[in-house]
Amino acid sequence: MPETRIHTFDLPLKYAFGISRETRTVQKTLIVELIQDGIRGYGEAVANHKYYTGSRLEIMEPLILRAADILALRDLRQADPEQIHAELGPLMEGNLFALCALDMAVWDLKGKLSGVATHVLWGLNRDKIPDSNYTIGIDSTDEMVRKLREFSDFPVYKIKLGTDRDMEIMRALRAETDAALRVDANCAWTAEQCIRYSEELAELGVEFIEQPLPAEDREGMEKVYRHSRLPVIADESCIREEDVKACAGRFHGVNIKVFKCGGLTPARRMALEARELGMQVMAGCMTESTVGISGIAQLLPLLDYVDMDGPLLLAADLAEGVEVVRGRPLFPDRPGNGVRFFGELRPR
């Protein structure tokens, strides 16, 4: 019954955003729009094709259109989104980014047709949810300090590292704020570096280190896990559902990315499994619009930490929905994921 439409956008970034392996000024993104009974649900998948070839727009679009025939036979007032996810998975040929955009749109539309927020459909409430960090990408030390000052009212910051002056950067930022700090090396360090850096980072009041080593360095991560003064959180080492268990004994927690794992359906299962294994749970963004961020926000009751500052890094957004104000996620009084586009989208 739902009609499927696809829209693509170039999202300009407010500033050049750097991590250990690249710097970019524009984020390409794909939006799936599902329409049933005049109600619209939205899902997103960013195009980060340099490292995730499946996120190329020209690869995602035909796969999503293939799924449209299946969705057209389902009444989302009655259908189970988890069953739809299972049916669509084989059609995506392993493309988890495309599957995510579809799954997020299905949950948004299901919630809107049901008249409740997506997390309420899951039996969750927002009595206790974490604040979001604000991410500061790699730049000159002075520029990173300036970016922190621009958002000086945030309670926590995530700092991208992976340079030859990482500790200089952290000392300069700590001198600017008493807020909580987290670091993300995006696979740039060795085990020995991480263990050594963890000593000073602990003295600087850093909460944890995210993905210090390349994902394939399992032996190195076991060493870091044993000797680091700070907890370590997996990102690139935890892509799919089966990776959660593999991270136990190498990481203290996992950062779940909905685009990488294939949507809200597997992300929720990953969060629950990590909790069962006694691990901390985080969800992170990939500089997406409010469409994707509002999807991530539905996971908040299951999380210890969250990185959902994507729209704050954009020069222009696409939609309104869940908003981050001084680190606090604020939910609109709307069902589903709460997404509403700025203006009318043209069908493709």
Domain C-terminal end among 119, 141, 170 = 119
> Which CATH number does the domain housing residue 237 bear?
3.20.20.120
Residue type at 37 in one-letter notation: D
Domain end marker among 67, 87, 119: 119
Is 14 contained in some domain? yes
Strands (DSSP E) found in the chain? 3-19, 22-36, 39-47, 134-136, 156-160, 180-184, 206-210, 232-234, 253-257, 280-284, 305-307, 319-320, 323-325, 328-330, 340-341
Is residue 237 included in any domain, yes or no? Answer: yes
Same domain, 172 and 227: yes
For residues 256 and 181, membership in a common domain is answered with yes
Is 279 domain-assigned? Answer: yes
Same domain assignment for residues 178 and 287: yes
Q: Is 339 helix (H, G, I), strand (E, B) or coil?
A: coil
Expressed as residue numbers, the domain containing 290 is: 121-334
In a domain, 103, yes or no: yes
Same domain, 220 and 253: yes
The verdict on 327 and 180 lying in the same domain is yes
At residue 47, φ and ψ (nearest 5 deg) are -100, 100
| Pair 21, 76 in one domain | yes
CATH number, residue 14: 3.30.390.10
Tell me: do 162 and 292 sit in the same domain: yes
Q: Is residue 150 part of a domain?
A: yes
Place of tokens 């069953």: 83
Q: Is residue 273 part of a domain?
A: yes
Considering only the C-alpha atoms of the chain, give the largest distance between any 2 of them, rounded to a whole number of Å.
58
Those residues whose C-beta lies under 8 Å from the C-beta of residue 24, and which sit 6 or more positions away, are: 13, 16, 17
Task: Identify the domain boundary among 119, 147, 177.
Answer: 119
Cα separation of 302 and 319, whole Å?
A: 25
What is the chain's pLDDT, residue by residue, as a tens digit (348 residues)?
Answer: 899 999 999 999 988 888 877 777 899 999 999 999 999 999 999 987 556 667 889 999 999 999 999 999 999 999 999 999 999 999 999 999 999 999 999 999 999 999 999 999 999 999 999 999 999 999 999 999 999 999 999 999 999 999 999 999 999 999 999 999 999 999 999 999 999 999 999 999 999 999 999 999 999 999 999 999 999 999 999 999 999 999 999 999 999 999 999 999 999 999 999 999 999 999 999 999 999 999 999 999 999 999 999 999 999 999 999 999 999 999 999 999 999 998 766 554
**203, 329: one domain:** yes
Q: How many domains does the chain have?
A: 2
Does residue 237 share a domain with residue 102?
Answer: no
Report if residue 343 sits inside a domain: no
Both tokens of residue 117? 């927020």
Say how many CA atoms lie within 13 Å of 32 toward its Cβ. 35
Q: Are residues 70 and 165 in the same domain?
A: no
Residues 98 and 197 occupy one common structural domain: no
Q: Enumerate residues 6+ apart whose C-beta is below 8 A from 68.
A: 3, 4
Whether residues 146 and 275 fall in one domain = yes
Contact 132, 297 (CB under 8 A): no
pTM here is 0.95
Burial class (CB in 10 A: 0-12, 13-18, 19+), 278: exposed
Query: Does the residue 346 lie in any domain?
Result: no
